[in-house]
Amino acid sequence: MITFDIKQITAVKGKQTFYQLTIDDFPAYNDEDDENQRNEKKKGVLDWYEEELEVKYQKDLHMIYAYMQRVANNQMVAGSKYHELSRPKSDQIKDFEFKHGDLRVYAFQAPGGKIIAVGGYKNRQNKDINRLRSLKQQYLDSLK
């Protein structure tokens, strides 16, 4: 069984709060760590994605962060860069895709913001969207 947590994405700052999912991440906290220090010690899916990203894609990821920043501040973003994904009627929670160049970042709606669940590439969109849906469901189940 997967252990989930969420980590606030502090690079994005706005009216909406952005989080990233952490999966089986067990950081070594100290007793004296405050909330921010604990947050920084976590390692989420976006951190892993960024770490494993080839250097040539770093700039594209910066653009995606900028789109996230705009969404967090409720500013307009072109539909080609950010849009809601169509989903089955039975699925009540909205999914979103951020994209730039070959990079894709997938999120789902959370109270007061969004949770990034998957970082992917253009050529494996279907797999990544399936993974998003699967992780989302497992995460929501873990909250019950």
Partner 1 sequence: MEREALLRSREYWLAHIQQDLYAMMEQYLQQNSLKRKDLAEKLGVSKGYVSQILQGNFDHKLSKLVDISLALNKIPLLTYQDLDAYIQQDKIWEPVPGTVTAKPVQYILVLNNAHPVEISGELCKQMEGRLNRRENPGQTKGTTPQNWARLTSYNADIQPNFS
Q: Which residues bind partner 1 (CB under 8 A)?
A: 10-16, 50, 59-63, 65-67, 69-78, 80-82, 84, 112
**Which amino acid makes up residue 95?**
D
Residue 110's DSSP bridge partners are 113
Closest CB to partner 1 among residues 23, 110:
110
Closest CB 104 distance from partner 1, rounded Å: 16
Closest CB to partner 1 among residues 56, 144:
56
What is the C-alpha separation between 73 and 21, in angstroms, rounded?
21
Closest CB to partner 1 among residues 10, 134:
10
**Which amino acid makes up residue 34?**
D
Closest CB 1 distance from partner 1, rounded Å: 30
Closest CB 76 distance from partner 1, rounded Å: 4
Residue 18's DSSP bridge partners are 114
Closest CB 86 distance from partner 1, rounded Å: 10
Q: Give burial (CB, 10 Å; 0-12/13-18/19+) of 44.
A: buried
What is the C-alpha separation between 144 and 141, in angstroms, rounded?
5
57 by DSSP, 3-state: which? helix
Closest CB to partner 1 among residues 91, 138:
91
